[in-house]
Chains A and B, each alone.
Chain A
Amino acid sequence: MRYLWFSLLLLPLLLSPFPFYLTLLNFFAIAALVALSLYVLTGLGGMTSFAQAAFMGMGAYATALLTVKGGYSPWLGLLLGLGLALVLALVLGGLTVRLKGHFLPLSTIAWQVALYILAGNLVGLTGGHTGLTDLPPLVLFGLPLDSAFRYAFLSLFLLALLVLALHNLRESRLGRALLALRGDALAAASFGVDPAALRLKAFLLSGFLAGLAGFLYAHFLRFVNPTPFSLEASIKYLVMAVAGGVGAIPGVLLGAALFTGLEDWLKDLLPLLLGRQGNYETIAYGLILAAILILAPRGLWPLLARYLPRREGRLPREAPLSERPLLGGEGQVVLEAQGLRKAFGGLLAVNGVSLGLRRGEILALIGPNGAGKTTVFNLITGAIPPDAGEVRLLGRPITGLPPHRIHPLGLARTFQHPHLFPELSVLENAALGTYARTRAGFLQVLLGLHRKEEARALATAYRALKRVGLESLALEKAERLPAGQQRLLEIARALASGASVLLLDEPGAGLRAGEKRELAHLLKSLAREGYSILIVDHDMDLIMGLADRVVVMNYGEKIAEGTPKEVQKNPLVRAAYLGEVA
């Protein structure tokens, strides 16, 4: 089914009597490559770049310089071009992926402008605005690709290949992680995704694709000058991708096709309308972009896709990933916090809290609203660093480590307000949990060598869904789950990760009485198997019937600890909850 993309290669045959359309076809393929680079960056990664044309320029000028000035082979030019594009992406990305999302695009604008100025002014090297001419044609199997007809086979073949590769990326642990990162960086990091590293890799891939497009562009026209690599061009590609629908591969291809046609038409039409020559099509691009962003923020493709037959998802039938042994010996303290302290400005949210969770135990952390329970969770899981105190997981100090480093050591969490990815299926949401247990890197994924591992990861996720009773909803979108089941899905995600220490933040909220009983039953059986569970909840009936021990907090301090019976009798606890005079 997916190999149908190669039927694109029939297009040059169909269009062979129309040389003009063959040229447009090549432009479409090149634009589509750039649009695909934006699919990786914006559609999957939730970042964006206004420098895709500059990346193209790297690819184009590298090959032009090597072939025209040095007389080397274009393939050497390809290597250099891709290398330069990667270096540029590394510098730009390295500086900005750790910052808030808008610094990357702003920096890309600045660098795009700077590189364009350089290309125009370094006359000795680049030929300035007149550019470099007479690039040699590419030669494949002894056949020079010197006509639009021949060239179209190469450009469309590469396009189809990359569509398949990016499809692989989307259906992989990395694609899932990127989508997760876009939606909710904290949730992604809590399952082992290193946000900065993954964003940087996505940016590198995106720069690579645009650089490749630049190489194709240069050898198609066999002439380079700065104009096609300007900020306006970068914006044009972004408009294409956003208008077509940057969240889906067919969307960006649709955008590329529409705008390649539109550009040509506008270039003829607008000067006629306005009675003057000039780059007036930018006005149309800007206004089209504005209209799309307001009227159909997700682009045109989702509007069309509604009328297409929906492909049914498939439940995994493969064997799950091999079990991770549950950590710790019988009765050993697996998770230990000592003297945790955290102040937000003048508010002391947590003050000197210590607790220890033993293997196979359910420990409840309770307290009135604002007592600092969730902050304790965030301090333990690395979501925020503590001001003082220490956290140990199986004797290893993990204080101040970021969440993505703590999770693989065997700790998984759920959130007070579910951090799920509404557009992904329930199964895919659970499968995010397996991120840290799977290995496939970008290269393997793009080449499709990850499928076996992916199938086993999905099977693991499916088994976790069965465990919490959501298997019948596996293929639904997560946004369709009611609040209670969203919490169960978060537990399934934690189980899929194979972590043996589970931190559950209010798992019972929003569940009906019957569901709560089932939840209690599930948690008890997990504890019997050797999972260690730290739980925060408000529901006293649930906690008192479930927990082996209880830690009570009030105003950021621990005020009591013991069995449920003991703390219920504790006068301090009664005062905190009921306002009795102690």
Chain B
Amino acid sequence: MDATILGLLLLDALQNGVVYGLLALALVLVFAVTRVILVPIGELLMFAPLSLVWLQGGKLPGTLWLALALGLLWALLSRGRGSLWPLGLGALLFLLALLGLKLPLLAYPAAVLLVVYLGLATYRVFFQPMREATVLAYLIMAVGLHVAYQGLGLVFFGPEQYRPAPLLSGEVTVGLSWQGVLVLLFALSAVVALYLFFRFSLFGKALLAAAENRLGARLLGIRPEEAGMVAFAIASFLAAVSGLLLAPLINAAYFMGFMLGLKGFVAAILGGLSSYPVAFLGALLVGLFESFTSFYASAYKEALVFLLLVPALFFQSLKARAVEE
């Protein structure tokens, strides 16, 4: 291996690693606030670029109808004034999608809004009614939604792979495209924004409080349902934008989100599903590991990544006491 190849591998590792990192941050956030392990985050990620391709091709994507249908259920479940949110947002989404058909630039915000709306509706319709369920029940629900959404992805978009046009074309140097720079910039700004949000805004602090102690937060007037909504909104936003930026580099197909999401999980588990910085660093490590295994044993790279779980779990197992109150 010479320096050029090493450089290419490192760049590749960084570019994938930051996306896993964003997913890991989203997963840790959602888990901390709602106890939901958001397995379908990979599907949310893939829905964004696929919907974009559909809108730019002049068709309304099936995900739009899915999102609107769930939004309707959301409105029905909320009733009264609470239903203004889903109805209003749904109308906005529909309008934006229609405009996106004509104006290709508007298709981007339409795709993002679509995924965020879908994420919110998913939380409201599927997870909130099982309030006070065990982590295990939430996880089973999440996995069920993963297979359902992945199956629906196949129905909506077919088995083909698509490559949307990059926002920025051309290469900075060999191996690093401007689109890749965009991915890195987005990851950086997202991390900084999240940090500022949680560190300095009252709402961010309230969210952390709800994650720390649900009952205590409720007593101080923070509604866990609201906190859950915000966590899902942030997570789906991160997934949607990552998906849009990444798709021109790696293609998009209905089945591809799951592996990306799983690698986010591996990173999140490296951080014990609780530490944001360790999860993000873990994600960079996953990217690095994957990049080098793909060089040496490309057929098995997807399988080898999961080996990273062994030392991580072993280490945490040493720290753990088997009895929790």
Contacts and interface: CB of A to CB of B under 8 A. Distances in A.
A418 interface: no
A283 B299 contact: no
Contacts of B182: none
B253 to A, nearest CB: 13
Interface string B294-309: 0000011011101101
B140 A48 contact: yes
B99 to A, nearest CB: 29
Contacts of A412: none
Nearest to A118: B303
Nearest to B299: A121
Interface in B18-75: 37, 39
A117 interface: yes
Interface string A96-111: 1111111101110111
B148 interface: yes
Nearest to A42: B136
A103 B313 contact: yes
B265 interface: yes
B147 A286 contact: yes
Contact of A98 (B130, B139, B145, B320): B320
B170 interface: no
B144 A95 contact: no
B306 A114 contact: yes
B237 to A, nearest CB: 23
B323 A186 contact: yes
A100 B324 contact: yes
B300 A282 contact: no
Given A101-B135, A102-B139, A114-B303, A293 B130 contact: yes
Given A186-B323, A283-B152, A109 B147 contact: no
A101 B37 CA distance: 12
B316 interface: yes
B300 A117 contact: yes
Contacts of A107: 269, 309, 313
A115 B129 CA distance: 35
Interface string A103-138: 101110111011101100100000000000000000
A105 to B, nearest CB: 6
A238 B144 CA distance: 9
A285 interface: yes
A402 B135 contact: no
Interface residue tally on A, bucketed by range: 35 or more
Interface in A335-390: 383
A285 B148 contact: yes
Interface in B281-325: 299-300, 302-304, 306-307, 309-310, 313-314, 316-317, 320-325
> Which of the listed residues A42, A97, A195, A287 has the most CB atoms from chain B within 10 Å of its own CB?
A287
Interface in B134-158: 134-137, 139-141, 143-152, 154-155, 158
B151 A283 contact: yes
A113 B307 CA distance: 12
Contacts of A95: 309-310, 313-314, 317
Interface stretch (A203-211, A272-280, A458-466, A491-499): A272-280
Nearest to A286: B148
Contact of B302 (A117, A286, A402): A117
Query: Which DSSP category, helix, strand, loop or mixed, fits chain B's interface?
Result: helix
B321 A289 contact: no
Given A95-B314, A106-B269, A285-B144, A118 B300 contact: yes
Interface residues of B, number: 52
B265 A286 contact: no
Interface string B119-134: 0000000100110011
A185 B313 contact: no
B273 interface: yes
B244 interface: no
B305 to A, nearest CB: 8
B159 interface: yes
B187 interface: no
Given A118-B303, A235-B144, A279-B151, A297 B273 contact: no
A46 interface: yes
Nearest to A110: B306
Interface string A195-239: 110000000000000000000000000000000000010010011
B273 A278 contact: no
A110 to B, nearest CB: 4
Contacts of B146: 286
Contact of A232 (B37, B147, B313): B147
Given A118-B300, A274-B155, A402 B144 contact: no
Interface in A395-416: 402-403
Contacts of B310: 95
A522 interface: no
A294 interface: yes
A103 B257 CA distance: 21
Nearest to B141: A293
A189 interface: yes
Q: Which 4 A-B pairs have the closest CB atoms?
A: A286-B148, A289-B144, A283-B151, A114-B303
25 contacts: A42-B136, A46-B136, A96-B313, A96-B317, A98-B320, A99-B317, A100-B135, A101-B134, A102-B135, A107-B313, A109-B143, A110-B262, A110-B266, A111-B309, A117-B300, A185-B322, A186-B323, A189-B323, A195-B323, A238-B140, A279-B154, A280-B151, A283-B151, A287-B144, A297-B130
Given A114-B306, A283-B151, 18 more contacts: A46-B134, A101-B136, A109-B265, A110-B262, A111-B306, A113-B303, A185-B323, A196-B322, A235-B143, A239-B144, A242-B140, A274-B155, A280-B151, A286-B144, A286-B149, A293-B137, A293-B141, A294-B130
